[in-house]
């Protein structure tokens, strides 16, 4: 870093407005852009992510570089992936004081993160931090977690309801396919609730910061065929008010017979009329193992 005493100067309404006016920047609704303007929240994100001087951080959607400045002060290296090319000259300006930041003008969904980690961090685990657009939160998270990139943690700002779904337990209204996928790969913990007035422009909903601490493969629930398990989960919650047996039978993806389904449910010791929302991750894994593997 060029100057370890360099302090973030964005993250306030005045600093943000100054940059937006300087570059004549207009928010793009298609990218779900909402910039943080509260230093306390920004500091809380960095603390929650546990960023230290040895860490390599990938930030998704840096915007004008507000959170990036805070990350750069704490981390060894920051790679900020921004899809909006209109923000690239702004980032060159706002991040010019930090030589440990690299900006990539790419869509995170097209970045080969596994290769990236090998090339830029020697294959060691990275930490991902992001203020994610609400409309694409789930695809981005599933892309990162499902690719089994060497990860320490993912700390993200998301819509409050989405954070609650990630952390939800069986039998609750928020419990669903996202809850199970997140718990399969990570241990989730909501670390902060963030009101709309902490953003510019103000979103219509509340937000939350959630830290997803990655599980090593040996600490995950044991299952023979991940693809089969997630197929069962998707089918169960696609028609969550139906019984598990009916939901699985109606799935075009699974193509399971009534007899196969009944036998598998019975072999797991589950009630005939149980719904998918009552099953734990471990029970979905057990149910998956009761079917022939599709691999």
d(CA 10, CA 200): 12
Q: Which DSSP category does 33 fall into?
A: -
pLDDT at 2: 41
Give me the domains of the chain, ranges plus CATH numbers.
Answer: 13-219 (3.40.50.150), 226-289 (1.10.8.100)
pLDDT tier, 1 (very low <50, low <70, confident <90, very high otherwise): very low
Cα 196 to Cα 9, 36, 42, 58, 211: the distances in Å are 21, 10, 14, 25, 20
d(CA 62, CA 250): 42
Average pLDDT, stretch 262-285? Answer: 96
Per-residue pLDDT tens over the stretch 176-216: 999 999 999 999 999 999 999 999 988 889 999 999 999 99
Question: Which position has the token pair 């090593």?
Answer: 216
- Specify the pTM: 0.90
pLDDT at 9: 84
Per-residue pLDDT tens over the stretch 63-107: 999 999 999 999 999 999 999 899 999 999 999 999 999 999 999
Is the CB of residue 58 less than 8 Å from the CB of residue 111? no
Average pLDDT, stretch 11-40? Answer: 85
d(CA 123, CA 170): 35
d(CA 109, CA 207): 23
Average pLDDT, stretch 133-149? Answer: 85
């Amino acid at each position: 870093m060029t100057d370890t005493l360099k302090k973030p100067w964005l993250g306030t309404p005045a600093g943000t407005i100054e940059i937006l006016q300087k570059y004549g920047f207009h928010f793009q609704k298609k990218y779900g852009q909402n910039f943080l303007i509260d230093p306390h929240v920004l500091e809380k994100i960095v603390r929650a992510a546990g960023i230290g001087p040895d860490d390599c951080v990938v930030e998704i959607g840096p915007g004008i570089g507000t959170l990036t400045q805070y990350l750069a002060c704490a981390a060894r290296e920051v790679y900020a992936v921004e899809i909006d090319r209109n923000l690239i000259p702004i980032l060159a300006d706002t991040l010019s004081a930090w030589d440990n930041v690299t900006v990539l003008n790419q869509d995170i969904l097209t970045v080969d993160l596994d290769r990236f980690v090998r090339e830029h961090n020697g294959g060691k685990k990275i930490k991902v931090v992001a203020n994610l657009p609400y409309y694409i939160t789930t695809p981005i998270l599933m892309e990162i977690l499902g690719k089994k990139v060497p990860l320490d943690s993912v700390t993200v700002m998301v819509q409050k309801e989405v954070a609650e779904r990630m952390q939800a337990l069986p039998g609750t209204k928020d419990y669903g396919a996202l809850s199970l996928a997140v718990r399969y790969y990570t241990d989730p913990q909501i670390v902060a609730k963030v009101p709309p007035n902490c953003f510019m422009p103000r979103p219509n909903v509340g937000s939350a910061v959630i830290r997803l601490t990655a599980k090593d493969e040996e600490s995950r629930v044991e299952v023979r065929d991940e693809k089969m398990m997630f197929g069962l989960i998707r089918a169960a919650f696609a028609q969550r008010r139906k019984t598990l047996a009916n939901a699985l039978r109606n799935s075009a993806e699974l193509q399971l017979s009534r007899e196969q389904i009944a036998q598998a449910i019975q072999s797991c010791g589950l009630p005939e009329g149980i719904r998918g929302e009552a099953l734990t991750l471990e029970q979905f894994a057990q149910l998956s193992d009761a079917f022939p593997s599709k691999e």
